[in-house]
A and B are shown apart, each in its own frame.
Chain A
């Protein structure tokens, strides 16, 4: 394969520089789509764990933990599309906690919003510095 991942990602990164302002709106839209427009509190009920510095933006480990949550959405504010993942916890979830690995295009804020069982929403965010972006860097 002649096309290396690096080349493809570099091309992608060039296309990502301009619409930066639009991303903040996209994140806000994604959050309101999840909450239905309800208020989101900056609460202690949700913990978002992510590395301070991620050397490789192609695989950044994250964990969300919100005891009693029904669902948690994770958003990457600096990605071309902020949606990352939504966890819905079922009856047999032993804890409302989950880990996965995500792509981050560049240094950015990762946001998580949890829907608690009482219908309220809580938000947590972490700044992640990306050395080699999952979209070029």
Chain B
């Protein structure tokens, strides 16, 4: 069970209509790979975030499938088109069933 999972997202406050903007996301998570062993030699079970989705007003921007080879505190940077004012929604899906979300509004003008 991952604790203190905190999503952090950087989205510009405003954009021109149709502009492409860069979004950066980071979420604190140990991303236990399932490859490591504890000092008794027992494998530490895998516990990662396996999927990340970014949408804008319900339309998909990017959908990422993640494997254990993604580093601790998964970071993504990608480009989104902003056709109108609205809300970005970011969702991370944990192996343990937890879902972490964040929202950011953006103005157009």
Contact = CB atoms under 8 A, between A and B. Distances in A.
Question: How large, as a class, is the contact surface on chain A?
Answer: 35 or more
B37 A8 contact: yes
B101 interface: no
A87 B74 CA distance: 14
> Which range contains the number of B residues in contact with the other chain?
35 or more
Given A93-B80, A95-B79, A87 B20 contact: no
Contacts of A91: 59-60
A102 B44 CA distance: 19
Contacts, number: 118
B71 interface: yes
A88 B62 contact: yes
A84 B62 contact: no
B70 A94 contact: no
B63 interface: yes
B91 interface: no
Most chain A CB atoms below 10 A, which of B37, B68, B71, B75: B71
B35 A135 contact: yes
A97 B11 CA distance: 16
Interface in B62-103: 62-72, 74-83
Contacts of B44: 8
A99 B67 contact: no
Nearest to A3: B39
A58 B70 contact: no
A79 interface: yes
Interface of A: 2-3, 5, 7-9, 11-12, 58-60, 63, 76, 79-81, 83-95, 97-104, 134-135
